[in-house]
């Protein structure tokens, strides 16, 4: 199995699928179709049914049931795009066999090193095969590791018909990295009772709760007057923006939070004397605290408008997604089964809250409960990304074991 999953993974990561936040089309980048077409052809060649690739770059396919026993339709989903945070062009994977636990040089010319002191989790993988980038691009394990794992698991099931299963539904999505991964996902067409995304981090991760999320854009309307004659007339919108930001709690910035702690994260600033804007993402696992954060930011806007003048500050606030736990708890067997599957293949479950969001979070609110399973990678979205091959193999084993456990119920 190692050879098969490695070959798939290397083939997929060499295809550039970077999504583009600045483009409103779906997919946001046409090059995502380059991988989608490869996957479609492979699914057809493997003998899956109802294989489709639509105009929005969503792939769906079915591995038909091989038993008359009434079993649930189970879905497995991964995304095809890679993060625009770093280049995904001309990826050159490096394979380090029998890792000895020391620093890994990615790019000797530019002194890019996976340093064990800075990335101590590397010590978990001594003796294993580590796949990295060459230090000039990301690797693309997020989430092409998940795709390779799903494809390998399906291939394994086809070659082992003694493993009985119901209909297995496969879905690959575009644009997850820019928050639009399931904008046009057809849950009815997918036709699964529940699903799992293969989009988590290190081996053993199992996640069924994530942030509630909102986006806030705050616009500041100033008054530009020649600075020589500005006394009691000028209103500098950039100064207003800085004042506003200083009103938000310092200890609730992402660099000072962890675990279940939420935050306000300043992600963008633009401005001149006349007009400025700042943007935040607001996050919290607790729904009440999340709503309170939104109220607080509105109160800060109201305060400044009262202090200066009406409409000096304008808030554009929109929710993005919610904590999937509220939906997954209704069918908690999906988590319990994944946990048991991990234990049966000698993986220690690491149940942690996602300090972010996944396609599964939104899918859960679209009627498809969808916890998240590890894909095995670390340090996503940058040049220090890597994935142990053995972790990918374990992910395949977990997929197969989940399917086996449901066939026994």
pLDDT, residue 179, reads 85
Q: Among 20, 42, 81, 207, which one carries the catalytic annotation?
A: 81
Which pLDDT tens digit goes with each residue over 252-267? 999 999 999 999 999 9
User: What domains can you pick out in the chain, each with its CATH number?
Assistant: 2-209+323-407 (3.40.630.10), 216-321 (3.30.70.360)
264-282: pLDDT as tens digits: 999 999 999 999 999 999 9
Average pLDDT over every residue of 103-122: 93
- Max Cα–Cα distance, the chain, nearest Å: 85
**According to the model, what pLDDT value does residue 378 have?**
96
Identify the active-site residue in 175, 176, 209, 359: 176
HSE toward the beta carbon, residue 244, CA cutoff 13 A? 35
176 is catalytic: yes
Place of tokens 């990678």: 377
pLDDT band, very low/low/confident/very high, at 355 (cuts 50, 70, 90):
confident
241 is written with which tokens?
């923006």
Mean pLDDT of the chain: 96
101-119 mean pLDDT:
93
Q: Which pLDDT score, from 0 to 100, does residue 358 have? A: 80
Phi then psi for residue 42, to 5 deg, are: -65, -40
- Scanning the structure block, which residue is given the tokens 């909102």? 214
| Alpha carbon 278 to its chain's center | 24
pLDDT digits (tens, 9 = 90+) for 366-399: 999 999 999 999 999 999 999 999 999 999 999 9
Q: What are phi and psi of 132, to 5 degrees?
A: -130, 175
- Who's near 11: CB < 8 A, 6+ residues apart? 38
Q: How far apart are CA 274 and CA 323, in angstroms?
A: 38
Dump pLDDT digits (tens) for 158-188: 999 999 999 999 999 999 999 899 999 999 9
- C-alpha to C-alpha distance for 135 and 382, rounded to whole angstroms: 9
Measured in degrees and rounded to the nearest 5, phi and psi for residue 142 equal -95, 90
CA quadruple 265, 266, 268, 272: dihedral, nearest 10: 160
On the question of pLDDT at 357 being above 80, the answer is: no
**DSSP per-residue codes, 208-263:** --B-EEEEEEEEEE-B---GGG-TTT-B-HHHHHHHHHHHS-GGGSGGG--TT--E
Residue 369 CB partners (closer than 8 Å, separation 6+): 194, 195, 324, 327, 328, 330, 331, 334, 363
Q: What is the dihedral of CA 93, 98, 102, 105, to 10 degrees?
A: -20
Average pLDDT over residues 59-73: 97
Convert the pLDDT of each residue in 71-100 to its tens digit: 999 999 999 999 999 999 999 999 999 999
The CA distance from 238 to 326, in Å, is 40
CB-based contact 285:262 (threshold 8 Å): yes
In order of 34, 198, 335, 405, the CA distances from 341 in angstroms are 34, 14, 10, 7
Percent of the chain residues topping a pLDDT of 70: 100
| Predicted model pTM | 0.88
**Residue 109 binned pLDDT confidence (cut-offs 50, 70, 90):** confident
Indicate the pLDDT class of residue 48, thresholds 50, 70 and 90: very high
* 134 catalytic per annotation: no
Tell the residue number behind the tokens 């390998």, with chain if given. Answer: 152
């Amino acid at each position: 199995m190692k050879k098969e999953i490695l070959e798939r993974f290397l083939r997929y990561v060499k295809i550039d699928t970077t999504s583009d936040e600045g483009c409103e089309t779906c997919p946001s980048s046409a090059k995502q179709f380059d991988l989608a077409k490869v996957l479609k052809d492979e699914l057809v060649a493997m003998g899956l049914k109802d294989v489709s690739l639509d105009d929005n770059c969503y792939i769906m396919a079915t591995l038909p049931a091989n038993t008359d026993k009434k079993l649930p339709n189970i879905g497995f989903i991964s995304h095809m795009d890679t993060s625009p945070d770093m280049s995904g062009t001309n990826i050159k994977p490096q394979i380090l066999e029998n890792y000895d636990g020391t620093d890994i040089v990615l790019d000797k010319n530019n002194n890019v090193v996976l340093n064990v002191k800075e990335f101590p989790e590397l010590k978990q993988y001594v003796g294993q095969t580590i796949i990295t980038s060459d230090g000039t691009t990301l690797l693309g394990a997020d989430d092409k590791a998940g795709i390779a794992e799903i494809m390998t698991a399906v291939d394994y099931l086809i070659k082992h018909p003694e493993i009985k299963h119901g209909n297995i539904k496969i879905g690959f999505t575009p644009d997850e990295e820019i928050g639009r991964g399931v904008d046009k996902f057809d849950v009815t067409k997918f036709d699964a009772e529940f699903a799992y995304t293969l989009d988590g981090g290190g081996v053993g991760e199992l996640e069924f709760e994530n942030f509630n999320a909102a986006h806030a854009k705050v616009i500041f309307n100033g008054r530009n007057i020649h600075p020589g004659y500005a006394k009691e007339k000028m209103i500098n919108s950039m100064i207003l923006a800085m004042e506003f930001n200083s009103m938000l709690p310092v200890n609730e910035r992402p660099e000072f939070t962890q675990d279940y702690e939420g935050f306000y994260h300043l992600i963008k600033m633009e401005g001149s004397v006349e007009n400025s804007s700042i943007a935040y993402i607001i996050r919290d696992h607790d729904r009440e605290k999340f709503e309170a954060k939104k109220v607080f930011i509105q109160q800060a806007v109201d305060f400044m408008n009262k202090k200066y003048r009406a409409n000096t500050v304008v808030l554009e606030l929109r929710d993005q997604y919610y904590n999937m736990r509220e939906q997954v708890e209704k069918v908690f067997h999906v988590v319990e089964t994944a946990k048991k599957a991990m234990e049966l293949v000698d993986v220690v479950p690491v149940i942690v809250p996602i300090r972010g969001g996944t396609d599964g979070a939104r899918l859960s609110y679209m009627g498809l409960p969808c916890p998240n399973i590890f894909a095995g990678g670390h340090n996503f979205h940058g040049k220090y990304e890597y994935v142990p091959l053995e972790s990918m193999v374990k992910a395949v084993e977990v997929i197969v074991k989940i399917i086996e456990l449901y066939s026994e119920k």
